């Protein structure tokens, strides 16, 4: 199967997924941009375009890549967060699989301009197949657009080969990672953390907020450190990999890359019962209510014990490998591709 993958934003996730597809016997060509915060060199299977729509100097490169995509003769085209109308001709080269990660913006900071929404909605209505990362998103999209929506599990965008090994005896601290937006529920996290620090369960850990974003300045309680920067994975993976717990206790989230990355690393991940997050979590650490300060405080206390954190982390890692590893995602992608292309899978 020849797969043309259009992904201007999620370059690292696309790499992990096409590598898994290639290992499964598919041939992939990726069209992307350099807009991802993780700056990487172009690979042989990538074509990197300038996203500047109004700059006429970008037209020749776009024309060359479009011609190459046509010569590639894809069996399917995957479009992921692609709202550049200049790329639309490439979506018509084969049956289109439209990927929709979220059923709505997380908050006002993520509202898209109307013209971007129009391009994305057009693709969702006209695609041969629509894929979502969770049953929660799939159900909302199915009702909104009146069509079938497939679920392909969200995998981590960090390759297994890039994971830092950290012995469980070194576990320390708790981490809240990512773009610090209002939906990250930081206020509730800080209230619960202050209560944990004042409790008998506190063992000297820090709560690390790792990331920049539109969240306004907040008063930090004791033993909280906010590193307000844009990070590459190499900067934050060591802190996350040795953590006793990872916070994805969001007010609204239909999926979370931090959640699957944390499980991949073998870190217990604390999530809320909002959106699609409960679908991803292992049974060993069930979700909490978004305003459950007491429950979050108790969970901090439980995970403060490094032995407990290591055991629950191992359970999270097993859950990730069984349900969200890249090869699991590739199997699901393959079933969608064979169906929309009308071809039979190889025996």
CA dist., res. 19 & res. 233, Å (int):
19
pLDDT in tens, 176-197: 998 888 889 999 999 999 999 9
pLDDT of residue 167: 62
**CB of 208 within 8 A of CB of 175?**
yes
Say yes or no to pLDDT of 219 above 60. yes
Structure-block tokens of residue 155:
């995998």
pLDDT of residue 295: 98
pLDDT of residue 233: 87
**pLDDT classification of 29: cutoffs 50, 70, 90:** very high
pLDDT of residue 165: 78
Say yes or no to pLDDT of 269 above 80. yes
Domains within the chain, CATH numbers bracketed: 2-155+325-341 (3.40.50.2000), 160-323 (3.40.50.2000)
Q: What is the DSSP letter of 184?
A: G
Say yes or no to pLDDT of 280 above 90. yes
pLDDT of residue 115: 76
Q: What is the DSSP letter of 288?
A: B
pLDDT in tens, 37-65: 777 889 999 999 998 988 999 999 999 99
Beta-carbon contacts of 30 under 8 Å, excluding residues fewer than 6 positions away, are 5, 7, 14, 15, 18, 43, 45, 46, 47
Say yes or no to pLDDT of 87 above 80. yes
**pLDDT classification of 213: cutoffs 50, 70, 90:** confident
DSSP-derived 3-state class of residue 101? coil
Beta-carbon contacts of 79 under 8 Å, excluding residues fewer than 6 positions away, are 6, 87, 91, 96, 97, 98, 99, 123, 127
**CB of 94 within 8 A of CB of 4?**
yes
Which one is predicted more confidently, 75 or 219? 75
pLDDT of residue 347: 42
CA dist., res. 93 & res. 224, Å (int):
51
Q: Select, from the ranges 146-155, 234-243, 271-280, the one with the highest average predicted confidence (pLDDT).
A: 146-155
CA dist., res. 68 & res. 2, Å (int):
13
pLDDT of residue 106: 52
Give the chain's length. Answer: 347
Which one is predicted more confidently, 29 or 346? 29
Phi, psi (rounded to 5 degrees) for 240: -70, -40
**CB of 206 within 8 A of CB of 174?**
yes
Structure-block tokens of residue 249:
């206790």
If you average pLDDT over residues 202-218, what whole number do you get?
A: 90
Say yes or no to pLDDT of 157 above 80. yes
Mean pLDDT estimate for the chain: 91
What is the model's pTM? Answer: 0.91
């Amino acid at each position: 199967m020849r797969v043309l993958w259009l992904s201007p934003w999620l370059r690292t996730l696309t790499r992990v997924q096409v590598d898994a597809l290639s290992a499964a016997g598919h041939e992939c060509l990726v069209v992307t941009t350099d807009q991802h915060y993780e700056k990487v060199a172009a690979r042989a299977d990538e074509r990197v375009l300038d996203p500047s729509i109004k700059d006429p100097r970008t037209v020749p490169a776009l024309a060359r890549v479009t011609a190459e995509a046509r010569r590639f003769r894809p069996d399917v085209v995957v479009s992921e967060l692609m709202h550049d109308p200049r790329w639309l001709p490439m979506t018509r080269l084969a049956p289109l699989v439209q990927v929709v990660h979220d059923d709505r913006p997380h908050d006002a900071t993520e509202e898209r301009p109307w013209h971007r929404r129009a391009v994305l909605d057009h693709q969702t209505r006209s695609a041969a197949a629509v894929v979502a990362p969770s049953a929660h998103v799939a159900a909302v999209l199915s009702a909104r657009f009146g069509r079938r929506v497939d679920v392909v599990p969200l995998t981590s965008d960090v390759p297994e080969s890039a994971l830092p090994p950290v012995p469980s005896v070194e576990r320390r601290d708790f981490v809240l990672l990512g773009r610090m937006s209002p939906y990250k529920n930081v206020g509730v996290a800080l209230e619960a953390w202050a209560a944990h620090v004042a409790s008998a369960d506190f063992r000297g850990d820090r709560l690390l907020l790792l990331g920049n974003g539109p969240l306004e300045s907040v008063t930090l309680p004791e033993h909280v450190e906010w590193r307000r920067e844009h990070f590459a994975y190499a900067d934050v993976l060591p802190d996350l990999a040795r953590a006793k717990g990872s916070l994805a206790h969001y007010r609204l989230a239909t999926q979370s890359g931090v959640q699957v990355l944390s499980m991949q690393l073998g870190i217990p991940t604390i999530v809320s019962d909002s959106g699609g997050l409960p679908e991803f979590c292992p049974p060993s650490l069930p979700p909490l209510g978004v305003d459950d300060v007491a429950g979050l405080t108790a969970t901090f206390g439980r995970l403060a014990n490094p032995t407990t954190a290591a055991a629950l982390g191992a359970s999270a890692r097993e859950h990730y490998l069984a349900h969200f590893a890249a090869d699991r995602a590739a199997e699901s992608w393959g079933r969608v591709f064979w169906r929309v292309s009308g071809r039979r899978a190889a025996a």
